[in-house]
Every structure is written in structure tokens, then in C-alpha cells.
Chains A and B, each alone.
Chain A
């Protein structure tokens, strides 16, 4: 490099690095600091309490249950979303069998793609309003209305979808999956279209079935996209804050009901942070969330690592 070039490059790098340090790394460090205090969140007076917050955290049934809910989301949301998206993407891109013997999607694939993508343009807030109307607990709800009309549900005892301990997590999952499938469908479609046609055609000539061409060709060549989707959906599953707080039953603040059956780490944290004024304790939760997420991302990236297939 020429003389002075280092200084020039460093000059440009300094600002973003400084911004990152101030707005990302510094809050992390502050949070770790606060997690060792009894800070109440409304002033700068607090006492150092050592690891008390962490000790209390591991005996906090509500938080532990919330961790478990996040884990359930983490298992089911990516699996269901990716499977559905893969299935639809495959059908839209290679599912049809044209008379001429080539590889193409089912009839009207372009239209379906737009249709499936549609939920993605809705913000989570709108989504919450929309599905609150779907899950409404009386005859005015979409589901209850249908079920009552068809006589499957007694009008005096409608299903309280979001007020049933065994149902609320699944009800939330449906919303996330409904919202996400279209996006990953388009993502996978794009990846599938970059797979050379002749590979499929060769397989077809060799007499490969749809299943075989999916599992032997499409999936391996799509692995990078699937991995990306997995990471993204993992983030969604670790969050869930907006939907839980806007849709589920109130537990003082930030949803989480009935009886904490839909609480996730972020809602428990926010409730402690702002509503109960146990901000130091909430910071300890934040630190635990950070650690969990880091462990998770390392595990995900390791577990899904495999050889890249070049084409």
C-alpha cells in the first residue's frame, strides 16, 4: 500500500466503529453493570448487590417458564415455516409436469407467489389487530363465528383461543408462520431458479420422481438459503415480544397470559423493568437472554454447517 493509505482507510473506519462501540457495545456493558445492582429504573440511585439478581432469576418460575416457551417457539417456528415454504416453493417452481416433459411450476405459479408474499407486507401491529379479530373469544370472532354457524361450537361457550393455556402458544405460532411462509417461499424460489434446469432435466430423464428430485437435488442445492432462514426464524422465536404483548391476556403489562402461559423472556423482562420497577433484575434477564442467544447462534451455525455444493 502506498504511504498514507492506512491512515486514510482508518479514518473512514473510525466513525462506524466508534458509533458501534457507543450505541451497541456500551449499552451491553452498562446492562451487565446494572444487572449487579438493585436499580429501579427511575433514577441513578442504586446499590450494588452482586449476583443476587442472577440467583433470584434461577428461582423465578415465571422467567423459567418463559425460557421454556421461547425454546418451544425455537423448535417449532423454524421447522414448520421452512417445511411449508420449501413445499410451496418446490411446487411453484418444479412441481408441475408440463406436457412437453420440461420442469416448471404448477399452473398459476406467478399468481400464487404474489398471494403468498402478501402477509409479509403487513406490520406486526396490524397482524396483531387482524388475528385478534380472528381469535376473538365471542361469536364476533372469525373462527368462533364460523364454528358456531356450523354448529361445532356452542354459542354460549365459544372457544377462548388466547385464553386457553394449552392453545395460546399454538395460536401465536400460527400467526408467525402465516406471516413468514410467503417470505421464505420467495427466498427459496429465487434460490431454486438459480439451480440450472438441465440438472432437473437430466434427473427426469433418469426417471427421478418428484420426491427424489426434491431430496436429491433441490434441498442440497438450497442448503445455504435454508440455513439463513433458520437463523432468521430463530431470531423471531427468541423475540415474539410484539405479538405476545399485543394479543395475549394482560399480566399487569406486556401480555403473557393466561396465567403466564404465553410469557416469553422479553415480556417478562419488560414487565419487571418498567411495570414492577425491578430494573436491575430485568437487566440480569437481559444478560441471560444475550448469553442464550449467543449460544444458540453458535450451535445453529455449527450444526447446519456442511460442504457447499458448487454449480
Chain B
């Protein structure tokens, strides 16, 4: 989940209601099953790719993108909007004479699943959001192009270097399936806590460097009628940012990899996991959560936090752009690495960082040369700066933003946090690799936050999810060292 706009799902099925009523009037009692069944059936279709539209290759056009051809772009319109993509497409048309058809949508699955199935997918897709098609699923079906060709092409800014060498190290990893890069996670994201610089100044709080400092601020906030920690309870993905970050910091990278590698002692038997669960549970038990936060959606709780109803919130760096309209002008949004528990293996500065928002090129795209060229240009300084301006976020291109561009305070603080972190970054991959296990971990965390289970039970449930995933024969191919 690179960025999120989950609030809207479910609405796709609305039209069915009218259908059901009408059909029921005809005496078709079995209609609900029917409408699902017909959703189930694929359109069939042939599996032949159509890699036409090949033009002449040249130094500035290594893939031979053909002038006058068309490019079909589908972009997830979530926390980052889709203005940046329109700006790119306009530039692409101007420079290469290739016009684009643009689709900005939150319903990636609904719009694209039938097209993938029928063998006529778009040329380039930002496959993100709550309704993304999971990358592992697409990959297993042979629908994704191996991006090595793009990554080994000469960079737009410096033709002497390969595109691959102009990126922030490690940012390609999450797009890897069985050793091949099949998704370009374009946006550089950091995850952690966020606070309002203004509120902290008013209250005289210092950004906490340790978990105890964090608890002290929560306590003080509570005594003044403000919530301590807010989280996007309806989507337990977010509280797992806190829980999993604490595990990684406490136990180091091995504790993190144990989860990704489905270790039989990833949770039960892991001191780091136990310490993290107990720490977060303490926040719940002491009443430091913003009241009601467990049941709020991401926009609801983030907006409450913007109204100074809570000191901290967990989120990734899409937060600033997503909340642009709700944030007071003097809010002074700031990023904070997760404050570590005592005796942590990683320092305070360490952050969960990496790339999100996967862009993919379908292997059966109609205009492959133009799609590859488009992706190559995404990794140019010009387009990276366009993105930073339009979407208030960084890209995986090293120093990818023109120094003349002034960033918003939250984005600026993530730049500083990344610099301070240096090599101390970590990144979970189970969220990309194992959708079903991720869901089970989230469900368990929600129960923990609602005080329906204790840390011990949480560990057991998480371990059960890991063990279940480990038994699935399809899980064996993913491993990280």
C-alpha cells in the first residue's frame, strides 16, 4: 500500500441493487448469487501479446518509441492525486509526439482485472491504493514485464550512467518477485509518527527520542484533554506501522526478516515482538489513544489530528498531500521516527523507508516501446521535480528534486529524517509478498487495540498467520537475506 484512499470501496456494487430488484420481479430468486457469479466469470479472451508500434531506436530513444503512436496510462488517483501524471503526459506528447490516454481512478482492480484477463491491458499502470491488484498475483500470472531493460538503459540526465545507478539504493527491492524487478516503486516513502510543530511548541513538548519520552508526552496530553496517539482504526494497516517498526528497531533487521521469511519464531518466541506488543498495549491500557480512534477511517482520524485532538498519528509520507485541505496553514507538520524501546538494536534515527506506489508495465502492453520510454523519463530529474511539485512527495531518484523547489514542511522534515537515518533504514516486504497474511496480522492488531486480546494472544495469532502462510506451497519462492 503505497498510498491510500480506502474510504471509497464498496460503492462499486451499488448498481447491482437495481438489477436485483428488477430481476427478482421476474421471479429470479437466485439473483444475488447470479450477479456474483457473473462477476466471477472472466471474459475469456486470447493470450497473445501485441507488441507493435515499434519505431527507430536512437540514443535519445533507446526503445524506439514511435512518434504518432498512442500510450494508455492508468494512474491510481489517491493520496498523491493524478495531476503529476497529466503533467508528464503533456511533456511526453510535446517531446516525443506520443499522445496519451489518461485514466485516473481508485478502482484499479475493477477497471483493469477484466483487461488483464482478456489480454489487452494498458501500457503503464500505477497499481496502488486499496483496490490495487496485488503485484504477486499479477506476477504469478505472467502479466508483468521484467523491467531490467528500462533500468539498464542510459539515464536521461546522464547517458553515461544506467538508470539503475541513479536511484536511491534499495528502492527497487520491493518491486522484486523471484529475483526480477517487475514493479517500479516510484515514490520514496518514510513511515513513522507525525506531529504538529505548532502544538508541540505551544505545549512545550520536545519531539521524543525514546519510548518513555513518548509515553510522557501522551500522559501530559491526556491530562490536558488531548489524545496521545491517533491511528486510522478502520484500516489497521496503520497501527501495524507502529507495531512492526518497534519490532524492527528493538530486535534489529533479523527480527524484521524473521517475519518476512515466515520464521517459526517470528512472533511467539521473539523478545522483540513481545516487547513491541506490550509497549503498544500499554498505550491502550493507560487510555492514551485518541477517544474513538479505533473505529475511525483514515481521513476521519487524520482530520481529528489536524484539529489538534491528538499529539501523534502513525502514517507514511503521503499524509501531507492527502490532508492538504484539512491542515491549518500554521500547523507545521513534522515527521518523527518511531521512538525506540529501551535496549533497541537500531538507533532512534532509523526509519522504515523505501519505495511505494508501484508502476508496472504489463507484458502484453500494446505499445511497449513507448511504455518503456515513459518509465525511463519518469526517472529523469525533470519529471521527478514535476512530481515533487504536484504531489508533495519525493521520488526514488537520488537528489531528484531541483534545489530551487521549496517543499512543504512535512515533506521537508522527511528529507531531513532520511538524511539523518543514513543507512539505518529498514523495510518490511511481507505486505507485498503475502496479502492474506498481512490481513490476518491487521485483524489481530485491531483486536489488540480494542483490548479484546492481550499481547500474548496477539503474538499467538500473528504466529498462526505466519505458520499458515509458510505452509502454502506458493510462499516458498520469496526469501530475503
Which residues of A pack against B, CB within 8 Å? 23-24, 26-28, 30-31, 34, 39-45, 123-125, 128, 132, 135-141, 144, 155-158, 160-163, 165, 231-232, 234-235, 238-239, 241-242, 244-247, 249-255, 257-260, 266, 269-271, 273-277, 279, 282-283, 286-287, 289-290, 292-294, 296-297, 300-301
Rounded to whole angstroms, the CA-CA distance of A255 and B34 in the bound complex is 21
Report B232 CB to chain A, min CB distance, Å: 9
Residues from chain A with Cβ under 8 Å of B326 in the complex:
none
Within 8 A of A (CB), among B27-83: 29-34, 36-42, 44-45, 47
CA distance A31 to B446 in the complex (A): 34
Judging by beta carbons under 8 Å apart, are B9 and A138 in contact? no
Q: Are A253 and B41 in contact (CB under 8 A)?
A: no
Complex contacts, A232 vs chain B, CB 8 Å: 21, 24
Q: Tell whether A242 pairs with B442 under 8 Å between CB atoms, given A43-B143, A137-B292.
A: no
Given contacts A28-B34, A28-B37, A257-B443, whether A250 and B14 have CB atoms under 8 Å apart is: no
Find out whether the CB atom of A160 lies under 8 angstroms from the CB atom of B295: yes
B33 CB to nearest chain A CB (Å): 4
Please name all residues of chain B whose beta carbon is closer than 8 Å to the beta carbon of A132 when the two chains form the complex.
297
Residue of A28, A39, A238, A250 near B235 (CB, 8 A) is A250
- Asked whether A252 and B438 contact (CB < 8 A) given A44-B44, A44-B47, A279-B40, the answer is yes
Contact of A246 among B11, B38, B294, B439 (CB under 8 A): B11
Known: A41-B117, A137-B296, A138-B293. A250 touches B236 (CB 8 A): yes
A251 to B30 CA separation, bound complex (whole angstroms): 27
A172 to chain B, nearest CB (A): 12
Q: How large is the interface on B (under 10, 10 to 19, 20 to 34, 35 or more residues)?
A: 35 or more
Is the CB–CB distance between A156 and B287 below 8 Å? yes
Q: How far is the CA of A27 from the CA of B25 in the complex (A)?
A: 21
B38 touches A258 (CB 8 A): no
B432 in the interface (beta carbon within 8 A) = no
A234, B299: Cα distance in complex, Å: 35
* Contact indicator A259/B291 (Cβ below 8 Å): no
B140 to chain A, nearest CB (A): 6
Contacting pair A293 B32 (CB below 8 A): yes
Chain A's nearest CB lies how many Å from the CB of B127? 11
B91 to chain A, nearest CB (A): 31
Residues of chain A within 8 A (CB-CB) of B291 are 138-139, 155-158
A157 CA to B291 CA in the complex, in Å? Answer: 6
When each residue 328-359 of chain B gets 1 if its CB lies under 8 Å from chain A and 0 otherwise, what string results? 00000000000000000000000000000000
In the complex, what distance in Å separates the CA atom of A31 from the CA atom of B37? 6
Name the one of A31, A162, A245, A258 contacting B41, with C-beta atoms under 8 angstroms. Answer: A31
Residues of A within 8 Å of B14, CB to CB, are: 123-125, 242
- B131 beta carbon closer than 8 Å to chain A: yes
CB-CB under 8 A for A43 and B9, given A123-B17, A137-B294, A252-B436:
no
B109 touches A274 (CB 8 A): yes
Assess the A42–B40 pair: CB atoms within 8 A: no
Most buried by B among A39, A43, A235: A43
**Contact between A239 and B41 (Cβ–Cβ < 8 Å)?**
no
Q: Is the CB of B134 within 8 A of A137?
A: no
B38 surroundings in chain A (CB, below 8 A): 23-24, 27-28, 31
The answer to the question of B6 belonging to the interface, with a C-beta cut-off of 8 Å to chain A, is yes
Q: Which of A128, A258, A266 contacts B446 (CB 8 A)?
A: A258
Interface positions, chain B 438-478, Cβ under 8 Å from A, are 438-439, 442-444, 446-447, 450, 452
- Say yes or no: A241 contacts B113, CB within 8 Å: no
What A residues does B41 contact at CB under 8 A? 26-28, 30-31, 34
